[in-house]
Amino acid sequence: MSPGRYFRKVLRAVSRDKMKQGRRALRMDDRRYVATKHSCPSCGKPVDDGDLAVNLFVCPHCGHHYRISALERIKTLMDGGEISEFSADVQPVNPIDFPEYTEKLRQAQEKTGIDEAITTGVGRIEGRQAAFALMSFKFLGGSMGSVVGERLARAMLYAADQAMPCIIFTASGGARMQEGIFSLMQMAKTSHTAALLAEAGQPLIVVLTDPTTGGVTASFAMLGDITLAEPNALIGFAGPRVIEGTIRQKLPAGFQRAEFQKDKGFVDAVVPRSELRSTLAYLIDVHSRGGAKP
């Protein structure tokens, strides 16, 4: 891969863009966590909501890793529980005039308290800075439309320009079909910015979380220099039901899970949430200043 120097212009322009991007500190409103109980979706045992947040949203009984949104990820991963968000102004439209899409977006925003299926910004882990992109499955199934693509593209180009790693947490059911062909094209766009990031010599670190399927899996999610996954995360292109429809039989247990994908060669390491901060900090260190100094 040798795109030459043409990408410099891209980076310079993004750098200019950064100046007016209206960054804002983003952190979770902790008041939502009241001490009520629910049953763990994996083991069924009673779990206290408040305890769960403290325990990184991992079931204290069985170790089940709950699906978490960008805000919860920020709270549990980042130094100070916050990031400096950018691209917040980038907001969805209805590009193919799909019936009720605008209304559906508004409802999702109201219901989830987040504005799109991805949140991007700069943050720190154990003092090390990186650009982050955090997907939220609960926002329309983490589907990738134009906003997800644009925010991802900007996050990668920002990392390239500012010489820092880009760390992406994926969680997606696939393309935002209501945006038609535009949603498909986000695969090409985000994969291209991954190439530009590589050209700039900065690492793309991907953390696959449950679930990561469809167009996201067939683009940036599989383009990490380092690819980590949370335990038991479902990772695939075609979803299990689609495959079962093709082969007309049930899938074997564990198929497409993180551990399976590691055996099949697509995941570097399965990392429990409790070890994520330490592992990511080491990886940022390793890739700092272009590598080795004795």
Partner 1 sequence: MKAEELRSKLQELQELALRENIDIGADINRLADKLAGGDETAWRRVELARHQDRPTALQYIDLMSDRYLELHGDRTFGDDPALVGGIATIGGVHFTFLGHQKGHNMKENLHRNYGMAHPEGYRKALRLARQAERFRRPILTIIDTSGAFPGLASEERGIGEAIARNLREFSVLRTPIICVVVGEGGSGGALGIGVGDRVYMLENSVYSVISPEGFASILLRDAKKAQQAAGLMKMTAPDLKGFGIIDDIIPEPVGGAQSDHQQIAGRVRQTVLAAYQELARKRPDQLLRDRSARLLSLGRFTEKPVGRQSSLLSRLFGGGS
User: Which residues, 50 to 69, sit near partner 1 by CB under 8 A?
Assistant: none
Q: Residue 50: which of 61, 62, 38, 41 has the closest Cα? A: 38
Point out which span in 35-43, 77-85, 88-96, 130-138 binds partner 1 (CB under 8 A): 88-96
Q: Are 262 and 208 in contact (CB under 8 A)?
A: no
Q: Which window, 34-42, 59-67, 120-128, 149-157, contacts partner 1 (CB under 8 A)?
A: 149-157
- For tokens 């564990």, name the residue: 254
Interacting residues of 146 by C-beta distance below 8 A, sequence separation 6+: 92, 93, 95, 176, 179, 182, 183, 186
Q: Map the footprint of partner 1 across residues 245-264, applying CB under 8 A.
A: 245-247, 251, 255-256, 262-264
Q: How far is the CB of 68 from partner 1 (least distance, A)?
A: 23
Q: Which is nearer to partner 1, 49 or 100 (CB)?
A: 100
The label of the residue with tokens 């763990």 reads 40
CB of 54 to partner 1, least distance (A): 27
Q: Which of residues 183-212 bind partner 1 (CB under 8 A)?
A: 183-189, 191-196, 198-199, 201, 203
Chain Cα centroid distance, residue 270: 16
Amino acid identity of residue 160, one-letter, is: A
108 binds partner 1 (CB under 8 A): no
List binders of partner 1 among 153-182 (CB under 8 A): 153-154, 157, 175, 177-182
**Count of beta carbons in the 10 Å neighbourhood of residue 222:** 20
